[in-house]
Amino acid sequence: MTTPSQSASSRPPANAGQGRRKRVFVAGATGYIGRYVARELLSRGYEVVCLVRKHSGVGANTGPEQVQRQLEGCKLRFGDVTDKQSLVEDGFCGERFDAIVCCLASRSGGIKDSWRIDYQASKQLLDAGLAAGAVHFLLLSAICVQKPRLEFQRAKLRMERELIASGVTYSIVRPTAFFKSVAGQVQSVKSGRPYMMFGGSDAACKPISEADLAEFMANCLEDPDLQNSILPVGGPGEALTARERGELLFELARQKPKFRKIPVAIFSAIIPLLDGLALLLPRFADKAEFARIGRYYATESMLVLDAESGLYDAEATPSYGRQTLREFYERVLEQGMTGQELGDHSLFNSTASAKNS
């Protein structure tokens, strides 16, 4: 699974020769990956219905008119996917659908938010989709659930289990990393500041572009080999460690390499302190969880985990697509981070950035 056998534009429409267009309900369509998935499905001839909030995006700064432009051609319905009644009445509207696509994800990774979005809202979507006659449910998950240490991982795993047990045809896609998730230090390096690394910098990933991932996900609705399966997927090229990504950035930015290591032990010192404070002040529970998230991504590779050896295996991690990390870095170095805003996911990168200044 190294590259697509056909580009989306060269395929016949998904509904060619059929009496009606297949209807797909997409949740999370205003998210980083969701909007690409919705547009990819639309380009293949599906009728795409998206349930969106009136104000969405990073900081809820995207209004209805902008969403209409981003998802032109899709049928938009405004409601709240976390509200069961709104999901059913404002979203599904008593209509029938062939497939459901779930691109929902907690924006922050906070404890309550993870269970509210990654599990509860996703499970409500599954139930509503089954009631609407859907025969396929496509779930965007994450490869890090292989070694669950965080609440959002446990919530995603529970949703995966519920989906498999439901009896519907399913495709569970576990991307290794998004381009956005390894872009937090592009501007710092461009400005001549050091590239920050936690620990020994051995954690590696094979990030995939949003367009390539959207194409892969759309393939799941059409390729029987991608159904009733859990599908890890990364982008083209070799797995790169944090140091190797930094070296690539310095090369492309024409800057002299400067690395600064931050000991992972800093997380081990902070987490017990925050956990203790959370016993008195509950708001610190999420802060402790954010520190655990930082430690996890600093030390764990986003690759397929060999169950027997307990080691990550880059060779066993499937690659898909055409857009390389080098090409992505070249683009954002030249054009900036438009469309790649980190938003609530900036925790780990902003920690490093703050220490740059």
pLDDT tens figures, 201-236: 689 999 999 999 999 999 999 999 999 999 999 999
User: Is the pLDDT reported for residue 27 higher than 60?
Assistant: yes
- Tell me which residue has tokens 């599990």: 119
| Claim to verify: residue 223 and residue 256 sit in the same structural domain | no
- Taking the CA atoms of 138, 140, 145 and 146 in sequence, report the sign of the dihedral they define: positive
- The answer to whether residue 191 is domain-embedded is no
DSSP annotation of 155 = H
Domain's final residue, options 170, 200, 233: 233
DSSP annotation of 229 = E
3-state helix, strand, coil in the chain (%, to 5): 45, 15, 40
Domain's final residue, options 168, 200, 233: 233
- The answer to whether residue 217 is domain-embedded is yes
What's the rounded mean pLDDT across residues 154-181? Answer: 97
| Claim to verify: residue 97 and residue 158 sit in the same structural domain | yes
β-sheet bridge partners, residue 244: none
| Claim to verify: residue 127 and residue 222 sit in the same structural domain | yes
Domain count, the chain: 2
Residues contacting residue 107 through CB under 8 Å, at least 6 positions apart: 113, 117, 343, 344, 345
| Claim to verify: residue 312 and residue 224 sit in the same structural domain | no
Residues contacting residue 343 through CB under 8 Å, at least 6 positions apart: 57, 58, 59, 107
- The answer to whether residue 223 is domain-embedded is yes
- The answer to whether residue 34 is domain-embedded is yes
Instruction: Report the distance separating Cα 38 and Cα 122, nearest Å.
Output: 17
| Claim to verify: residue 43 and residue 171 sit in the same structural domain | yes
| Claim to verify: residue 39 and residue 173 sit in the same structural domain | yes
Cβ pair 312, 76 in contact under 8 A: no
What's the rounded mean pLDDT across residues 105-112? Answer: 92
Kindly report, residue by residue over 11-24, the tens digit of the pLDDT. 444 554 456 789 99
Residue 54: per-residue pLDDT: 79
What percentage of the chain carries pLDDT values higher than 70?
86
User: Is the pLDDT reported for residue 257 higher than 70?
Assistant: yes
- The answer to whether residue 201 is domain-embedded is no
Question: According to DSSP H, which parts of 222-324 are helical?
Answer: 242-253, 265-280, 284-299
User: Is the pLDDT reported for residue 325 higher than 50?
Assistant: yes
Domain with residue 167: its CATH number is 3.40.50.720
Tokens describing residue 262: 């931050």
User: Is the pLDDT reported for residue 265 higher than 50?
Assistant: yes
| Claim to verify: residue 141 and residue 268 sit in the same structural domain | no
Residue 165: per-residue pLDDT: 98
Residue 308: per-residue pLDDT: 93
Tokens describing residue 339: 């469309």
What's the rounded mean pLDDT across residues 182-200? Answer: 89
| Claim to verify: residue 169 and residue 121 sit in the same structural domain | yes
| Claim to verify: residue 15 and residue 159 sit in the same structural domain | yes
| Claim to verify: residue 158 and residue 294 sit in the same structural domain | no
| Low-confidence winner among 54-58, 135-139, 256-260 (lowest mean pLDDT) | 54-58
What's the rounded mean pLDDT across residues 104-109? Answer: 92
Residues contacting residue 179 through CB under 8 Å, at least 6 positions apart: 207, 208, 209, 210, 235, 323, 325, 328, 340
- The answer to whether residue 3 is domain-embedded is no
Q: How confident is the model at residue 107 (pLDDT cuts 50, 70, 90)?
A: confident
| Low-confidence winner among 45-54, 62-71, 212-221, 257-266 (lowest mean pLDDT) | 62-71
CA angle 312, 162, 134 (to 5 degrees): 115
| Claim to verify: residue 77 and residue 223 sit in the same structural domain | yes
User: Is the pLDDT reported for residue 9 higher than 50?
Assistant: no
pTM, whole model, 2 decimals?
0.88
User: Is the pLDDT reported for residue 131 higher than 90?
Assistant: yes
Domain range for residue 174? Answer: 8-178+208-233
- The answer to whether residue 1 is domain-embedded is no
What percentage of the chain carries pLDDT values higher than 90?
78
| Claim to verify: residue 150 and residue 263 sit in the same structural domain | no
The three-state secondary structure class of 208 is strand
Buried b (16+ CB within 10 A) or exposed e, 50-62: bbbbeebbeeeeb
- The answer to whether residue 302 is domain-embedded is yes
Residues contacting residue 191 through CB under 8 Å, at least 6 positions apart: none
